[in-house]
Chain A
Amino acid sequence: MRSTIRGSSPKRGFGIVACVALVMAMNGDALPVLKAQSASTAAAVPDLSGVWDGTRRSHPINGPTVPWARTVPEGTILPDGTPADRNYVSNFPVLNERALAFQKIFDEPLSPKYDCQPSTPPALEFDPFNMEVVQWPDRVLLRYEKDDQLRTVWLDGRQPTSRDYGVQGFSVGRYESNALLVETTHYVFDITGFDDYNGIPSSQQKKVTERYWRDGDQLKATVTVEDPMFLRKPTSYTMRWLPAPKGYKLKAFDCDPEAARLSVQFIPPRYK
């Protein structure tokens, strides 16, 4: 007696499955290969997990000259917790003509943050709130108190598709030299996506590269931004987090639209 699948032959059933798989692959729906980084490199996985204090205890509060500064007086504490020396090199972005034009017409009330749209890298990391790192074999979760954001860094080799554009982009990563390297692309246009203090936008071509590593009990990261639509060359900052108090759990941000937009009334209108 021949075995059947609901009356169909095994051969026909296999054919149906193969056809479905082929159609999915043609549409880009194929399941990603779920695999963690190989065992040979797993030994180099640094322990970055935990809740990290990103408040003013760890680094200066963000502002028009922090973390992006043209000049810094000698001795000023830098975002990575070290004092600036006299040879400080500006990390303020070199803007192209398009960026300068956007800056010129920029109107502060346009900032999406006044309606609770979450901030994104490179600002999200630096905002003065705590964050948590969760390391799983196939991904790293970056949870931020600021704006209740969750970023997933895929370690399994998957790559973004054309449907993966989003506010936080799409992040892939790998461990290398005892550090976590993260590359994020597929951002959507954001009129303050580079820096909300200086009115610098970011485009769909923004690419943020982050390198996270442990320095004693501190977590450090170098955040590098490329965006050929607005920046003439990449620029970066290095910052640190300190361990959060033992047992600390992230708190909900619950951005309140009323509280977020209230200060807009105090901005002299630039356009009618």
Chain B
Amino acid sequence: MKVGSRILFASVLTAGFLARATPVVAHHSAAAAYDETKRVEAQGTVTKVLVRNPHSWVFLESADDKGQKIEWQIEMGGVPSMAWAKDALPIGAAVKVAGNPSRAPGSHGITGATFTKADGTPVGPRGGRGEYTPR
């Protein structure tokens, strides 16, 4: 998918969607920054992957429903959980992501993310949820 690809949909579902991923962010209270009762989905092109402690980040370039370019910032686990990302999330890869949306109005953050390819194939371990253990 090229830069500027649009969001297929960025729908927010309600608490009934509780097949959510086990949170992989153990550094802080994710509830302060993300609404764990809601779900957002987006797609875009990987522009940067920061494999860092305490948390790693995946950046997606996408576009809103008006065609304006936006950047999704997806918070992941720390370095031990992200060994898979180097191969599975290369720069320029087109991915879909689903997870808990950030709370601040107008922000584009996601955590508890599941990554898939455009055809729905999981990206990375644990069905696209990443790996938390350091092996």
Could you list which residues of chain A lie within 8 angstroms of chain B, going by C-beta atoms? 55-57, 61-64, 108, 111, 113-114, 116, 127-130, 145, 196-198, 245, 251, 253-256, 258-260, 262-269
Contacts and interface: CB of A to CB of B under 8 A. Distances in A.
Interface of B: 22-23, 26-29, 31-34, 50, 52-57, 73, 75, 78-80, 102-105, 107, 109, 111, 132-135
B29 A108 contact: yes
A245 B26 contact: no
Question: B33, B50, B73 — which one has the most chain A CB atoms within 10 A of its CB?
Answer: B33
Nearest to A58: B133
Which one of A128, A253, A269 has the highest number of Cβ atoms from chain B below 10 Å of its Cβ? A128
A113 B27 contact: yes
A266 B133 contact: no
Nearest to B110: A266
Contact of A266 (B33, B52, B79, B80): B33
Nearest to B105: A268
A254 B57 CA distance: 15
A266 B103 contact: yes
Main secondary structure of the interface of A (DSSP, over half): loop
Contact of A251 (B50, B103, B104, B134): B134
A126 B89 CA distance: 30
B104 A56 contact: no
Contacts of A196: 28-29
B29 A197 contact: yes
A111 B54 CA distance: 14
Given A264-B33, A266-B34, A267-B33, A251 B79 contact: yes
A130 B78 CA distance: 13
B109 A263 contact: yes
B109 to A, nearest CB: 4
